[in-house]
């Protein structure tokens, strides 16, 4: 892999692009760990572009929403924790936004309100997570691109402050003033069989040859990493698109486990979706890692299912143990990757473990491949030493949290991390 560019004074210069994958709130909390590491390393200010999908889009929209406050305070770790991390964590660990969406959707139906369930999801996200109403009013940097899938054309449909559109219908620059941030996040997170597609009326949008209404589903249907935005640069991008020179791909998509029982009905439909997501994602990962190994790209790949202790250098040798000394116990990695991906409440420990795992995964990758960018002494060590009995309790907590829909349970005794 090639090194990182430096300016004439020898200072490292970067334009970082982030890919934040789908995976519900599991992906959102994982992305927060990556952002925390970048902020601690004074690299968050160098993030120029964020391509996000589904759960990654939900937290990317929070990042964009608070961009002015972060910039005013120098993109520091304290600023990130105050304006992005803590507010999001407070909402999602104390409220079940999935149930609030269901209740509001039912209420709208009973009142005869003619709006889709996907649109109501956007209202709930906006009410609890975002301060900026319209996409066009977001700060200019970082450029956050929220990706949905247009079910009619089978193409990615992207919404950003500076543009809206797709390869099929072209891009309009800037985004029309009517497009709301909650709507864009909901469209990106409209997972099949869980959330209804979000309808976008195209009248007045000036898209080329678009039908009157687009049905937008989860961006992960097309690309669950949000990676194609950067890989397909030469296939046509709007003039306002910002191109990075260093990519960090954060994949919280989890694991497709082998099973032994037969499938039928709705279970078969859901399993088919999981297989499709898994295989298309695996192809994009191989493409990206091949580009890294061939020096055609610079950056790192992070996978929630990967234990930093197993990371290898390009020549196949293990990384130095010092580079993962604070990582989670290995026994917690697989159950952590199996946490549910819907939008219900996460307990503080689940949220903390997800972010902590991403934080140390980011450090292990960057420290081993680009040491000039790494934090010299990572500060977050809440789970660096976990007693065996605590590790087993946390493992059981994560295993119980894997269910897609589950009964409410008592709040945990304490919140770590």
pLDDT tens profile 97-126: 999 988 988 887 888 777 777 788 999 999
Per the CB < 8 A criterion, the answer to whether 220 and 277 are in contact is yes
CB distance 38 to 44 below 8 Å: yes
In order of 77, 110, 314, 316, the CA distances from 362 in angstroms are 15, 47, 16, 19
Q: How many residues does the chain have?
A: 417
Number of other CB atoms surrounding residue 90 within 10 Å: 11
* Helix (H) / strand (E) containing 270: helix 265-293
Within 10 Å of residue 139's Cβ, how many Cβ atoms? 18
Residue-level pLDDT at 236 = 80
308 token code pair: 């930093």
What is the rounded average pLDDT for all residues in the chain? Answer: 89
For residue 44, give both structure tokens: 């968050």
What's the longest Cα–Cα distance across the chain?
Answer: 66
Quickly state the pLDDT bin for 10 (edges 50, 70, 90). Answer: very low
In percent, the amount of the chain with pLDDT more than 90 equals: 70
Q: Is the pLDDT of residue 405 over 70?
A: no
Cα separation, 239 vs 346, whole angstroms: 40
* pLDDT given for residue 370 in this prediction: 97
Q: What is the pTM of this model?
A: 0.92
154 versus 191: the higher-pLDDT residue is: 154
Instruction: Please give the DSSP secondary-structure letter assigned to residue 180.
Output: B
The β-bridge partners of 200 are 214
Mean pLDDT within 241-245? 95
What is the average pLDDT across 3-18?
A: 65
């Amino acid at each position: 892999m090639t090194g990182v560019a430096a300016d004439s004074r020898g200072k490292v210069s970067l334009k970082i692009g982030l890919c934040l994958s789908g995976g519900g709130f599991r992906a959102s909390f994982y992305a927060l760990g990556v952002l925390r590491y970048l902020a601690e390393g004074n690299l968050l200010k160098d993030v120029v572009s964020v391509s996000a999908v589904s759960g990654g889009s939900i937290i990317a929209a929070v990042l964009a929403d608070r961009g002015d406050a972060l910039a005013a305070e120098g993109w520091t770790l304290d600023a990130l924790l105050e304006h992005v991390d803590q507010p999001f964590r407070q909402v999602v660990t104390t409220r079940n936004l999935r149930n609030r969406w269901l209740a509001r959707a039912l209420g709208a139906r009973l009142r005869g309100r003619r709006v889709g369930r996907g649109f109501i999801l956007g209202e709930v996200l906006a009410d609890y997570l975002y301060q900026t109403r319209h996409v066009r009013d977001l700060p200019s940097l970082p450029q956050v691109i929220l990706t949905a899938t247009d079910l009619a054309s089978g193409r990615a449909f992207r919404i950003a402050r500076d543009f809206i559109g797709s390869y099929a219908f072209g891009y309009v620059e800037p985004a029309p003033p009517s497009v709301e941030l909650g709507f864009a996040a909901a469209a990106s997170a409209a997972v099949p069989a869980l959330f209804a597609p979000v309808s976008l009326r195209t009248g007045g949008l000036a898209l080329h040859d678009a039908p009157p209404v687009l049905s937008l589903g989860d961006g992960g249907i097309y690309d669950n990493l949000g990676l194609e935005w950067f890989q397909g640069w030469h296939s046509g991008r709007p003039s306002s698109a910002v191109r990075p020179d260093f990519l960090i791909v954060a994949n919280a998509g989890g694991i497709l486990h082998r099973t032994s029982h037969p499938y039928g009905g709705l279970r078969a439909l859901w399993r088919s979706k999981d297989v499709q997501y898994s295989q298309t994602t695996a192809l994009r990962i191989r493409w990206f890692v091949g580009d890294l190994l061939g020096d055609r790209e610079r950056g790192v790949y992070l996978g929630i299912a990967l234990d930093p202790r197993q990371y290898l250098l390009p020549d196949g040798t293990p990384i130095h143990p010092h580079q993962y000394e604070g990582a989670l116990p290995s026994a917690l990695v697989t159950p952590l990757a199996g946490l549910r991906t819907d939008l219900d409440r996460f307990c503080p420990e689940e949220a903390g473990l997800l972010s902590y795992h991403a934080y140390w995964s980011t450090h292990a990758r960057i420290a081993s491949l680009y040491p000039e960018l790494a934090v010299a002494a990572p500060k977050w060590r809440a789970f660096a030493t976990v007693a065996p009995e605590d590790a087993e309790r946390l493992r059981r907590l994560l295993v119980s949290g894997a269910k897609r829909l589950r009964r409410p349970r008592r709040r945990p005794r304490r919140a770590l991390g």
